[in-house]
Structure 1
Amino acid sequence: MSIPCVFRTLQPSIIAAAAAATLSLPVAALAQTAPAPAPQRTATAPAPAKPKPAPQGPAGQATATQQVATAKPSGSDDVVARVGNANVSADELRAYVAALGAREQAALAKDPALLSQTVRMLLANRLVLQEVAAKKWDQQPNIAAQLDRVRDSALVELYLQSVSTPAANYPSEEDLQKVYEANRSALLVPRQFQLAQVFIAVPRDADKAAEDKAKKKLDDVQGKLRAPNADFLAIARAEGETKDGGDLGWVAENQIRPEIRAQVIGLAKNAVSDPIRLDDGWHILKLIDTKAAYTRTLPEVREQLVQQMRSERAAMMRRAYLAELLKEHPPILNELALSNLLDGVRK
């Protein structure tokens, strides 16, 4: 392809998120990282025998086997989804959604189909937990040790989030305006061109027969394009060799290949370029329309800018908290023991 389909992204630093206008909800990731409640016993399932006391995992945490065995059944009226003996109740789903971030909740509200995907993943997790419980897989010493490490890491992360959350009123309007003004150049949207093309494929290393065939087709296309009232896109669809039918849409100036950009810039609206030979073949471009470069306004980027500023402030607060904690409790390292440990690993 000669001109990639592009969507402009802003430069790094504080404005990096300002160009990201699309929200997405990684349902699979959310469902797998959020703790799924244990499976429920259905009303028709036989009552289980009184369970024997199940062993506690390290650090006194209940194992997955215990969680499944001691799950409280949901009333059938409260169940919103079920697979096998695994249920998801309305209350559980409401609690799950409430625990999501504001952006994920907004995405769910915008696209209700995402909620169905989330429920499916929750049910899949319930089935996996039932397998874990049936095999007592989580009670293996090495797995229990890994679960301990995961729990500790999760606790540390949650606590650090709690001590590094910026004040609700940050950033102020004054802070926001200052950052916007300081980064106006990064918010420049370059000139854009609405383009169409006829593409005739023939690589640079093609033999003479292929070159002659492509050149003949190119001459035929040019003849059709010169005809009165010629329909460029219709000819591109009929004669061109691109999946998009020749319609490139809006392309930012800085995303156009230099060999093509030089020609496009000199075209008048609705004008057609001379054939351009590139490594992949011949390109004939038509300039349909142009949008002048402009700087995005503060209202346009406000939401993304606020989120990025809060994210950077949280990271700064986290670093400061950890630095102060280490200052109050300086770590002492046994360098010799560490060196011996590394020697053992290398062997």
Structure 2
Amino acid sequence: MFKPSILAAFVIAAPVMTAVPAFAQDESADTVVATVNGQEITLGQMIVMKQSMQDPSVAQMPPAELWDLMLDQLIRQTAVAEQGTENAGVRAQLEIQRRNTLATVAVTNIAETDPTEDEIKAAYDKVFAEAEAQTEYSAAHILVETEDEAKEIKAQLDGGADFGELAAEKSTDNSGPNKGDLGWFLADQMVAPFAEAVRGMEKDTISDPVQTDFGWHIIKLNDSRTRENPKLEDIRDQLDQMVRREKVEAGVEKIVTDATVEKIEGIAPEAMDKVELLEAE
């Protein structure tokens, strides 16, 4: 089924326009800015059109030019829409769009309630109150395909070879060009055998070959440090969003739970494939 876009109206030749008189000071969303064959285009529609602009360069146009552009677009859309035929599919689509718009308004109203300081503190405690400080590791590795290759590289390192140079030459993963450096990470971010090996290493030591699903690793532990929990003030914005999100989820759940819902039995799921039903007048 053809899905029309509001932007498709640009392909239609521009209609003849008449001058629009200046607005009174008490203009509203219902203020008429143009008519097309008797159908009204309102200031509210213009406002919504501007809010939906995705192209920053268009939104930054001088107000008068942007006004003319959007009004022309709405006039074309309105004129062409008269030639469209309403059917079951169109009505279904319009109803879904109407409900989605109203649902968005409802969710926005819930989310706009500012969290209290107690709610922010509770959100922080929920995440960090019982969280223990974690150890981060800085390490490098050399990854090869076979155990024999790994043992040979370990022997070269034990003999004084430079770890970074061997990583750049031998490692098969994308850390090679960076001398095998993996940066800082939590052990749990790595696969289990790698993580277990790192936890048991001392600073500036090099491991024996370690096998994972990726191959064989020679690991060098550069350093380790304790990562403290962040301070509340440092993540206040994230906590604010967390509280708002939870309020929305709880609010939506309550609305749905309180709703009177009746599911009609006897309609086969395969009925959703009968797209021909959408063509009915």
* TM-score grouping bracket, smaller chain normalisation: 0.5 to 0.7
Secondary structure in structure 2 of the residue aligned to 1:295: coil
Q: Match for 2:220 among 263, 283, 286? A: 286
Alignment RMSD: 4.7
Secondary structure in structure 1 of the residue aligned to 2:202: coil
- Report the counterpart of residue 121 of structure 2 in structure 1: 177
* Structure 2 unaligned blocks of 5 or more: 18-35, 61-71, 273-281
- Paired with 1:144 and 1:277, the residues of 2 have a C-alpha distance of 59
Query: For residues 260-292 of structure 1, what are the alpha-carbon distances to aligned partners after superposition, in whole Å with 9 as ceiling and x for unaligned?
Result: 233222322221111123454321000012121
- Paired with 1:219 and 1:226, the residues of 2 have a C-alpha distance of 10
* Structure 1 unaligned blocks of 5 or more: 1-34, 51-65, 73-90, 101-113, 120-125, 203-213
- Report the counterpart of residue 314 of structure 1 in structure 2: 248
- Report the counterpart of residue 271 of structure 1 in structure 2: 205
- Report the counterpart of residue 141 of structure 1 in structure 2: 87
- Report the counterpart of residue 161 of structure 1 in structure 2: 107
Q: Match for 2:173 among 235, 242, 266? A: 242
Distance 1:276 1:136, change over 3 A: farther
Distance 1:233 1:182, change over 3 A: same
Distance 1:158 1:267, change over 3 A: closer
- Paired with 2:253 and 2:169, the residues of 1 have a C-alpha distance of 60
Distance 1:162 1:237, change over 3 A: closer
Distance 1:138 1:240, change over 3 A: farther
- Paired with 1:318 and 1:197, the residues of 2 have a C-alpha distance of 48
Aligned length in residues: 230
Letter in 2 for 1:231: D
Aligned pair 1:191/2:125, yes or no?
no
- Paired with 2:203 and 2:58, the residues of 1 have a C-alpha distance of 46
If the length of structure 2 is used for normalisation, what is the TM-score?
A: 0.61
Distance 1:281 1:162, change over 3 A: closer
- Report the counterpart of residue 278 of structure 2 in structure 1: none
Contact 2:123 2:242 in 1 (8 A): no
Query: For residues 122-165 of structure 1, what are the alpha-carbon distances to aligned partners after superposition, in whole Å with 9 as ceiling and x for unaligned?
Result: xxxx99xx89x879895352441232222232233134235534
- Report the counterpart of residue 225 of structure 1 in structure 2: 157
Contact 1:38 1:71 in 2 (8 A): no
Contact 2:191 2:212 in 1 (8 A): no
Q: Equivalences for 1:1-347 in 2 at 5 Å?
A: 48=15, 95-96=51-52, 115=56, 139=85, 141-161=87-107, 163-168=109-114, 170-171=115-116, 173-185=117-129, 188=132, 190-202=134-146, 215=148, 217-228=149-160, 230-245=161-176, 246-321=180-255, 326=259, 338-342=264-268
- Paired with 2:58 and 2:169, the residues of 1 have a C-alpha distance of 41
Q: Quick one: percent identity of the two aligned structures?
A: 18
Structure number with higher relative contact order (C-alpha < 8 Å, ≥ 6 residues apart): 1
Contact 2:133 2:228 in 1 (8 A): yes
Query: For residues 90-120 of structure 1, what are the alpha-carbon distances to aligned partners after superposition, in whole Å with 9 as ceiling and x for unaligned?
Result: x9996447xx9xxxxxxxxxxxxx946999x
If the length of structure 1 is used for normalisation, what is the TM-score?
A: 0.51
Residue 40 of structure 1 deviates from its aligned partner by 5.9
Contact 1:190 1:254 in 2 (8 A): no
Distance 1:226 1:310, change over 3 A: same
